[in-house]
A = this chain, B = another copy of it.
Amino acid sequence: MQLTRSVKHDPKQRLDEIIVKLRELNFRITPQRVAILRIFLNSQDHPSVEQVYAQVKADFPSTSLATVYKTVNLLKEVGEILEISFAGGGNRYDGIKPYPHPHLICTTCNKIMDSEIGLVDQIANELEQTSGYRIVSHQIEFFGTCPACQKK
């Protein structure tokens, strides 16, 4: 099992690639979709649907929240954004590394930080052997306090 994959992050190139992909899958390229996609490709901070909504509305005031949700689901389904879900509030999304990877989540300010752990694939393989499950994905979140919040 190989869960992770490498995606070089060049927002402009990825935007073009994703547009081609969506077109191939017979989805239409609307200005709203492009705007939302751009936001994801340029956000380092794992935005929520509500945050994306606020940003799209800045340039595109008529956009509906429902459209953001639909686009988020679409991008999730084609594998171009990753959903991060945990108790307490809405889901968060990662459009830069859209494959499962561990996160460090600050329970004070809600900041989410990426972290790569090389061992994940090995652990998943071991678990497959011992449990008989066929593992296809994972969700690994560590909760605590970020350096900035520790100082307060």
Q: Interface of A with B (CB < 8 Å)? A: 83, 85-87, 91, 102, 104, 106-107, 113, 115, 117, 119, 123-124, 126-128, 130-147, 150
Q: How far is the CB of A75 from chain B (nearest CB, A)?
A: 15
Q: Decide: B83 and A85 in contact? CB cutoff 8 A.
A: no
Q: How far is the CB of A126 from chain B (nearest CB, A)?
A: 8
- One of B83, B91, B130, B145 near A133 (C-beta < 8 A): B145
Nearest B residue to A84 via CB reads B87
Question: Which residues on B sit within 8 Å (CB–CB) of A132?
Answer: 146-147, 150
- Most B CB contacts (10 A, CB to CB) among A115, A131, A132, A133 go to A133
A-B contact pairs, 25 of them (CB 8 A): A83-B87, A85-B85, A102-B127, A104-B131, A104-B133, A104-B135, A106-B133, A107-B136, A115-B131, A117-B123, A117-B126, A119-B123, A124-B142, A127-B142, A133-B145, A134-B144, A134-B145, A134-B150, A135-B142, A136-B145, A137-B142, A138-B140, A138-B142, A139-B139, A139-B141
